[in-house]
Structure 1
Amino acid sequence: MINQATTIYAGAGTTAVPFLKEDVGARVSGMGSAFTAVADDANLIFINPAGLDYITNCEIATMYNKSIIDTYYGFLGAVLPIESFTLGLSYLKYDGGDIEINYLDGTSKKVKAESDSVITFGFGSNFSEEFFSGFNAKIISSELGEKYSVSTVAGDLGLIFRPANDRISVGVSFLNLGGELKYSKASESLPMTIRSGIAYKVIDLKRHSLLLAFDTIKIKNEDMKFAIGSEYWFEKLLALRLGYKVSDSITFGLGLNAFKGQIDYSYVPMLEETTHKISFTMKFGSSELFDVAEKYYDKGMCNRAINYWSKIEKGEPEYAQAEKRINEAKGKYGKEQEEAGKLIKGRESATLFADLLQEWNREHPKTGVSPSQPLETGSIQPALQSEPTQYQIKPPKEKTNLAVAGFEGKNMTSADAAIVSDFLRTDLVKTEVFNVVDRGNMEKILAEAAFQQSGCTTSEYAVQIGKILNVQKVVTGSLSKLVGIYYININITDVETGKIIYADKAECPSPRDLSIAITNMAIKMAYQFSEK
């Protein structure tokens, strides 16, 4: 430690507070310091602050490290998510041990060789679902030999690209920017560091996962280093870690989820002495998939929330609720997620229905086209024109009570099919021809009757729903895809007779045409039941 205490006189090529170059957190060191793109717990504060807004629950992390001879350092950090952003706060303390000073008069005195501390204030946010950013403001204090006390301020910046499926992450951070420490007549700059990294989840299952990470680390006045790390979680209970810093050392680590938190341990063999690190992260709030998805949804990360909800398997208590939330999220944000369809980026405009209906009445005041005759997808022109007849949509004196059941998905997900049925339900309401049962009320009534919607399209199924909901007509339908073409089929069943009284279909060459096709189908249905 005497060497550390006297480095301030070593001249060019040295940096102050060298402990800032050390890994904070046993999990980080267990992975060989390959953590720039991982950055998903409170230990990220000293690695990459961009990961702050990825954390959904409050966390408090602590660490203690006994190092060479009698030196040690400890860490205490906290992360506080707040809807659209996340705050971080940490305190890092380093003790360089004692040295004995012998005076000429024969007396001696023990003093602290070096005592340093860093207080960090962090802020993280996301400017899209995939891009995260963050910065830290640091107050750094250092005391040498209980004689020279100095302080300065510095900052960190970080960026992370992490798609909504969470499989891959790319990160970069710039640490210890600005500031220098001046001891008496000598001054030293901070160990400015540039880190970059990539991480990939090779296995991403509910109870098992394997993460691989690679980092480059460039510290001022030092050669670039490379770090490789891996982490395997078994049953979400036990983690095994292995890391390697090129030209440095192999590292090992363990993790255990217990006591409402995570205990981490790392073993780092060194030439002088082996280093053991132990850290504990307390996590507040639920880490269940459904609850994590809800928190991402509240942060405005719709696609990431859908990804977590979709991991809930059939048979689990929250499966039905997760499916419902997926439908709601897709309906609200119109994001294209599923591989089979990439369905609906958004309706063409907020006035799509009104525009089409107005155009319909303007262009076809007198036509012979049947309302059941399919329109050309993506167009409001009729497929056939003949002798003129009166053709206007007028609300009837007595509206028909009608319910739209969830559509069946064929080669499509049930979530995508549900979006199409939601669009049809909305457009039928706008025609003012029907009394349409609200989906929320419909699901509540069916749940109370212990009736499970299955997406079935048979007339028997429609009659069952209709009797429970006390409506006159029930719309059932399906959404399918074949050789790149989307097909919509709908039937209207009379609940009293059990007969299908109306049917229609549409073909769509692309997801964007689905919205227009649904609106056209709603207009034709409305005409069928309108005042003639």
Structure 2
Amino acid sequence: MSWIKYRKALFPILIFFFLHPVVIFSATYDDVSETLSEIFDDYIDENEGTTSFRSLYIPSGGRAEALGSAFTALADDISFFEYNPAGSCQLENTEAAIFHNSWISDSSLETLSYVNRINNLGYGASLKCFYVPFTEYNIFGDNVSTGYYSETTATLNVSYNFLAGYKFKGICVGANLKGAFRSIPDYTDNDTDEIITDSGLSQSAIAAMTDIGVLLQFNALKFYSSRDSNLNFGATIHNLGFIYTDLTSSDSDFSETLPTYFSTGIAYSFIRPVTITLEYQQPFNLSDLSTSEQWAASTGTSVIITPFFTMLGGFQLRGGSPRLTMGGELKYNEVTFNINYTLDMTSSTTPINRISVTAKLNLGDNGRYELQQKIDEMYSTGLHLYANGELEKAIEIWSEILEYSPRFDPAIAGIESAQSSLELEQRIKELQTLN
């Protein structure tokens, strides 16, 4: 790749990345926070927080968070789990990753994920735990109970890429099956200061839900040469399911509601180093649509600076809370490190508030690259045979390619052309015989 070729296009983008933090911090943090609060005051959502398991909205981190969570249409690495379950069947490599996200105050989010792809089938698993220290004091200030409030979500993923080919990259369809547990520690009786057995369990909950997503990949308005698609569309329904509360009672209680929402987005790369993503989200409170939260929107930009370093940035607006994220990816051999910083001025009192760190391990591509190299060599051999007039041998080689890759369009077109030439030769011979 010739990076000099793209330097003019990259220059204004790099200026934006490096200068917008300077603009933000040129004023005092309090002044900027107050100004932003006033600007986005009209977007404050009266229905914010009317659903449970709010940790489902918190990003684990990684590439997806760095792009402002505008990842439904891209879903091109292991952080796809929270955005589009169709992503696993189009990843280049088997991946394993560990995420840490330092969220508001002393709350944190830890995530472990694994994903694999076999031909057009993708599958994976992820375990995500959000936790906050819990401490209870009595009226005299004595510490009477400690523990952690936590929400843990386990996810199983499967997806398949239908109609995947050389030009049209296919229709990816996927689903997540998720189970979640909310744990609340036991608390004390105000009169006796004694811990009430199972008091926390009575407010804990379990949830079962699913995500369903689709991802379409095209080549359009492309100003560079590459087999990879440059235009993606994605859509996902998130968190369709139920919550069961009061685990100490035999009576079923399904009064709480999951944060169900629909997301759709687009990802576009007009030149090789730059990808822009846009996303729209619409929540639905399935127990009472009139109390549904309002829409959210986000955008992100990825710029490949060198083959081993990528800079990312994003912006998200959810309710009256604008979030600006900057991040970077550094590749070292088979490991990719990601660090993100999110500036959320309307919900935090200090500028250093949200930092996430990710380590991702590339476990190989299950031989897909070697197979593609073999197919390319076979196709080239077929072209030489075709040029030398050995049409039947060319057809034989190209037919063998289709056994490996049934929708390899160049081989299909080559076979059709060779067969037409053979038919024409046969017709000419028949005419010569008649004469």
| Shorter-chain TM band | 0.5 to 0.7
CA displacement at 1:11 relative to structure 2: 10
CA displacement at 1:41 relative to structure 2: 1.1
Aligned to 1:458: none
The alpha-carbon distance between structure 1 residues 405 and 123, as it changes in their structure 2 partners (threshold 3 A), is closer
User: Quick one: distance in 2 between partners of 1:188 and 1:13?
Assistant: 11
Is contact 1:156-1:174 (8 Å) kept? yes
The alpha-carbon distance between structure 1 residues 188 and 260, as it changes in their structure 2 partners (threshold 3 A), is same
| Of 363, 377, 385, the match for 1:324 | 377
User: Quick one: distance in 1 between partners of 2:254 and 2:228?
Assistant: 51
User: Quick one: distance in 1 between partners of 2:419 and 2:103?
Assistant: 64
For residues 201-259 of structure 1, give each alpha carbon's deviation from its aligned partner in whole angstroms, at most 9, with x where no partner exists. Answer: 1222xxxx211100012234321111110101123210101111135122101001114
Larger radius of gyration: 1
Is contact 1:181-1:189 (8 Å) kept? no
| SS in structure 2 of the partner of residue 35 of structure 1 | coil
Tell me if 1:240 matches 2:311.
Answer: yes
| Of 167, 171, 177, the match for 2:234 | 171
Tell me if 1:115 matches 2:194.
Answer: no
User: Quick one: distance in 1 between partners of 2:340 and 2:48?
Assistant: 34
Tell me if 1:518 matches 2:391.
Answer: no
Aligned to 1:203: 271
| SS in structure 2 of the partner of residue 29 of structure 1 | helix
Aligned to 1:231: 302
Identity of aligned residues (%): 21
Tell me if 1:139 matches 2:43.
Answer: no
User: Quick one: distance in 2 between partners of 1:131 and 1:245?
Assistant: 27
- Give the alignment's TM-score, normalised by structure 1: 0.55
User: Quick one: distance in 1 between partners of 2:120 and 2:417?
Assistant: 34
Aligned to 2:79: 43
CA displacement at 1:190 relative to structure 2: 1.2
For residues 339-376 of structure 1, give each alpha carbon's deviation from its aligned partner in whole angstroms, at most 9, with x where no partner exists. Answer: xxxxxxxxxxxxxxxxxxxxxxxxxxxxxxxxxxxxxx
Matches within 5 A, 1:145-164: 145-146=185-186, 147-148=200-201, 149-163=204-218
User: Quick one: distance in 1 between partners of 2:257 and 2:116?
Assistant: 31
The alpha-carbon distance between structure 1 residues 93 and 83, as it changes in their structure 2 partners (threshold 3 A), is same
Aligned to 2:121: 85
Aligned to 1:280: 359
For residues 253-299 of structure 1, give each alpha carbon's deviation from its aligned partner in whole angstroms, at most 9, with x where no partner exists. Answer: 10011141211111101231420000111111169xxx65456xxxx
| SS in structure 2 of the partner of residue 222 of structure 1 | coil
Give unpaired runs (5+ residues) of structure 1: 1-9, 296-304, 310-320, 332-403, 409-417, 428-437, 441-510
User: Quick one: distance in 2 between partners of 1:30 and 1:17?
Assistant: 23
The alpha-carbon distance between structure 1 residues 327 and 519, as it changes in their structure 2 partners (threshold 3 A), is farther
CA displacement at 1:527 relative to structure 2: 10
RMSD: 3.4
User: Quick one: distance in 1 between partners of 2:343 and 2:283?
Assistant: 22
User: Quick one: distance in 1 between partners of 2:47 and 2:312?
Assistant: 39
Is contact 2:278-2:300 (8 Å) kept? yes
Aligned to 1:190: 258
CA displacement at 1:322 relative to structure 2: 6.4
Matches within 5 A, 1:405-424: 406-408=385-387, 421=389, 423-424=391-392
User: Quick one: distance in 2 between partners of 1:170 and 1:82?
Assistant: 23
The alpha-carbon distance between structure 1 residues 239 and 11, as it changes in their structure 2 partners (threshold 3 A), is closer
User: Quick one: distance in 2 between partners of 1:325 and 1:424?
Assistant: 14
The alpha-carbon distance between structure 1 residues 99 and 172, as it changes in their structure 2 partners (threshold 3 A), is same
- Give the alignment's TM-score, normalised by structure 2: 0.67
User: Quick one: distance in 2 between partners of 1:245 and 1:60?
Assistant: 27
CA displacement at 1:195 relative to structure 2: 0.8
User: Quick one: distance in 2 between partners of 1:513 and 1:405?
Assistant: 14
Number of residue equivalences: 325
For residues 20-40 of structure 1, give each alpha carbon's deviation from its aligned partner in whole angstroms, at most 9, with x where no partner exists. Answer: 101122211111111001101
The alpha-carbon distance between structure 1 residues 102 and 405, as it changes in their structure 2 partners (threshold 3 A), is closer
Matches within 5 A, 1:368-407: 406-407=385-386
The alpha-carbon distance between structure 1 residues 194 and 59, as it changes in their structure 2 partners (threshold 3 A), is same
User: Quick one: distance in 2 between partners of 1:71 and 1:157?
Assistant: 29
User: Quick one: distance in 1 between partners of 2:394 and 2:325?
Assistant: 58
User: Quick one: distance in 2 between partners of 1:262 and 1:18?
Assistant: 29
